[in-house]
Structure 1
Amino acid sequence: MSPILTADDLHRIFKNLDTNNNGLVGIHQLHHLLLNTGAQATLDELEELVGHTSLDSIDFAFFYEELVKAKIQEKNDSGCNDDLSKAFQVFDLNGDGFITCEELQTVLSRWGLWDKSNGQDCKDMIRVFDINSDGVLDFEEFKVMMSTPCRPHNSI
């Protein structure tokens, strides 16, 4: 389904699904519609999501709005992860799926952001976000690091 369906479009779809003209669309009819549009959901998942075995036209419209919101969020999350994945690859110089202290220092040095004379150890930088304490950053730890707002050194 396109996220640009009008109220009239939704009403027409609902009427087509309501084959017995009782003002309700059954979960099986909704499941069939979703499968035809490429959505992957089992009948049980759909029933749990909807919370009913049938929907009236208002519930159908709300269901559609929730699908659109979920699709937009999925697209936003995917785009964000793609960007983070590319950024991670910049630091993961050997492509092993981890950012080591040496890799971090090399990349920051290339960018002119690493000053060896400042006394800062890149191990300390990694340790802050190294959730499993293995001395390197994996992609999930990198995502946490990238989503953490920067704070001035003197702030509490």
Structure 2
Amino acid sequence: MSILNNSDLHQIFENLDKNGDGLVSLEELNWLLDKTGVKFSLGELESLTGKTRLDFNGFLLFYDSISNKQNNGSNEDVEEGNENQESDLVNAFKVFDLNGDGFISCEELQNVLSRLELWDASSGRDCRTMIRVYDTNLDGQLDFEEFKNMMFLTIS
């Protein structure tokens, strides 16, 4: 089960498209990536997308391209990629773990999603249910390993 389905991605796209023209600039996209702990320069984004603005289909292609695991290259490249991926996951975890206690609570998840304008209280979503899907020890919050498993299942 993926946390970000097509409807979620469409909502993110619409929130990023501040002027409602059906396009998201690389600056807007970079703002979201930066808020989630993913660092790209505008040049890197343009190189990845081949464009300076993305329609929804381009946004989906970009999401797919950064969320798919790359297993090309030598073992050394794969090991370095795994280290970078682990570091990125640690940074992403810290974005959600607002009080630094090593766990992501429902309140922290909702707080971060709200700040990113990805939480709509009227949507009927319940962050406890979202957490419960990946909470293997059933303590009502996500530790780093549960978060990591969630992210790997989400991008697989």
TM-score scaled by length of structure 1: 0.50
